[in-house]
Amino acid sequence: MRIWGSRFLVVLLFVTWIVAGCGERSGEVERNRSAHSGEVPDSWVARRESMVRDQIWRRGVQDPEVLRAMRAVPRHLFVPQSIRGRACDDTPLPIGYDQTISQPYIVALMTELLDLERGERVLEVGTGSGYQAAVLAMIVDSVYTIEIIEPLARVAMSTLEELGYHRVRVRIGDGYAGWEEAAPFDGIIVTCAPRDIPPPLVDQLAEGGRLVIPCGDLWHQELLVVEKKDGEIRRKSVLPVRFVPLIGPHGEE
Ligand code: SAH
């Protein structure tokens, strides 16, 4: 009995050693993997928290729904892997094809200016990475977005699909013409700059709707809010900005 007892103890110690050892080793692999890819989920939550506090809230964007959306959407998964570590920096970042994902503050400010409510319908012109569309989808039920560069649209479609933003509809085409079949929209946001406000977008704005749009040439652009009230158009200028130009038949070549 005593022999069996001590053998059992040895086996038990051996098994414990293996389990503990393996546990430690796989822990190391996990840590290395995380350090390599920079993808510790908790650290991204913390980085977004400081991004919202320091870059967005401190500069005056206060709408709780906008702040919630900016905290929730995993911005790092919308930027190319090679620059993922800079995803929450206070700057626009390149996404390929000479295009950029806007600076976090500008995304938040434009979203706040849209003044959205849950049941409303929004159109975005300039899908890019799909990030702004995901932020919008955290706030409203229907989001339509148009991108003129097909490969960017395809990547955005799959990112949005993988992350579960099933409410976003993406179309490949010229956003200058809007999305007539889905109009009217309570909000329209344009994330590339035309020289002047595209008339089809004003036509597709619902009564009481808001169009948030940068307008101008490469050097001088203004962020405008255009409102349609009692059939009349009112526009106000918010601040000078610099966006990539609207391209296609109605824009820069
Ligand atoms: N909102 C994007 C950033 C957009 S950058 C994001 O969150 O990542 C501007 C985008 O507008 C680019 O992807 C550019 O290809 C697109 N664009 C430029 N002209 C366009 C047009 N006429 N119609 C639709 N998209 C256009």
pLDDT of residue 250: 92
CATH number for 2-241: choose from 3.40.50.1100, 3.40.50.150, 2.40.30.20, 3.40.50.920.
Answer: 3.40.50.150
Ligand 1 neighbourhood includes 251 CB (under 6 angstroms): yes
pLDDT of residue 13: 33
* Residue 173 Cα to ligand 1 middle (Å): 10
Listed as own residue / partner, the contacts of 194-202 with beta carbons closer than 8 Å and 24 or more positions apart are 194/245, 194/246, 194/250, 194/251, 195/251, 197/224, 197/226, 197/235, 198/250, 200/176, 201/123, 201/125, 201/176, 202/226, 202/228, 202/233
Catalytic residues: 102
pLDDT of residue 39: 57
Residue ranges for the chain with pLDDT beneath 50: 1-4, 6-37
Ligand 1 neighbourhood includes 174 CB (under 6 angstroms): yes
Ligand 1 neighbourhood includes 106 CB (under 6 angstroms): no
Ligand 1 neighbourhood includes 247 CB (under 6 angstroms): yes
Atom of ligand 1 nearest to the CA of 176: 22
What spatial distance separates the first Cα and last Cα of the chain, rounded to whole Å?
Answer: 89
| Number of other CB atoms surrounding residue 183 within 10 Å | 18
Q: Using CA atoms, how far apart are residues 85 and 140, in angstroms rounded to an integer?
A: 29
pLDDT of residue 32: 30
Q: Which amino acid is at 61?
A: V
* Residue 145 Cα to ligand 1 middle (Å): 9
pLDDT of residue 28: 27
Atom of ligand 1 nearest to the CA of 244: 9
- What predicted TM-score, i.e. pTM, was given to this entire model? 0.85
pLDDT digits (tens, 9 = 90+) for 3-23: 445 444 333 333 333 333 333
- What are the structural domain ranges in the chain? 2-241
* Residue 146 Cα to ligand 1 middle (Å): 8
pLDDT digits (tens, 9 = 90+) for 65-95: 999 999 999 999 999 999 999 999 999 999 9
